[in-house]
A = this chain, B = another copy of it.
């Protein structure tokens, strides 16, 4: 059996939605304890690394390669951290590392492996505008790199029909320009134009921008790669406030009809 002794340590951590104020003390300690840190460059840039820590930055499309390199380093005895934005378990590196571990050499499955949770983007966007995720909700990635578009459409329709609020991750990128517009079109077939839509960009960061609109007015151009899009249910509503932006919330109670 190809086992390495001693097996190292691999921790997958999330930085939260951006500012250090959202990163948990547990994640901060794990970053401080790592020798080698793997991640998408901009996420690593958020960390104050020491000169003795090795920074291994890669492109955000190379998740599986990054996972393999991190596992190999850990199996070789290093203390390794893989750094994600947000929560590493939500459309981020934790699943990629698990996939690589499952398919890789046996030594990778003997690494001391842990995942540390973080604040994921939809929670930060929701908090910035009120409580739109206060009722049942779902999180979908609009990326069709890893699943057929037909599956995405079916999930959008099922979630809208059953009355879930939705958080759309990966709404748009240079390589995927049409998906978000198509998603709005699909949702307009089953939800009224008045449904509340929130474009939440860089939530919690100095350059945060929250745009509150409706499904009828929502356009794909309102989102970029740093945006998480929330689609309300029929019940999601606004509270007007004098001199302040409206609050968005989804009531905890539901009437007899699914709404």
Contacts and interface: CB of A to CB of B under 8 A. Distances in A.
Interface of A is mostly: mixed
Interface stretch (A22-30, A44-52, A184-192): A22-30
A160 to B, nearest CB: 10
A253 B164 contact: no
Interface residues on A, range: 35 or more
Interface in A230-259: 237, 239-243, 247, 249-254, 256, 258
Copies of this protein, total:
2
B164 A155 contact: yes
A90 B131 CA distance: 8
A159 interface: yes
A94 interface: yes
B94 A131 contact: yes
A140 B258 CA distance: 14
Interface string A115-150: 111111001101110111111111111000011101
A23 B25 contact: yes
B138 A137 contact: yes
A221 B22 CA distance: 35
Contact of A95 (B20, B155, B242, B251): B251
Given A123-B87, A254-B151, A130 B22 contact: no
A8 interface: no
A85 interface: no
A5 interface: no
A140 B136 contact: yes
A22 B256 contact: no
A174 interface: no
Given A130-B98, A148-B256, A21 B26 contact: yes
B146 A252 contact: yes
16 contacts: A17-B117, A89-B123, A94-B126, A95-B134, A96-B252, A101-B247, A102-B249, A109-B239, A114-B127, A115-B128, A117-B123, A136-B139, A138-B139, A138-B164, A155-B162, A159-B159
Closest 8 CB pairs of A and B: A95-B134, A138-B138, A147-B254, A158-B162, A94-B131, A98-B249, A21-B26, A146-B253
Interface of A: 16-17, 19-26, 29, 87-91, 94-99, 101-102, 106, 109-110, 113-120, 123-124, 126-128, 130-141, 146-148, 150-151, 154-155, 158-159, 161-164, 204, 237, 239-243, 247, 249-254, 256, 258
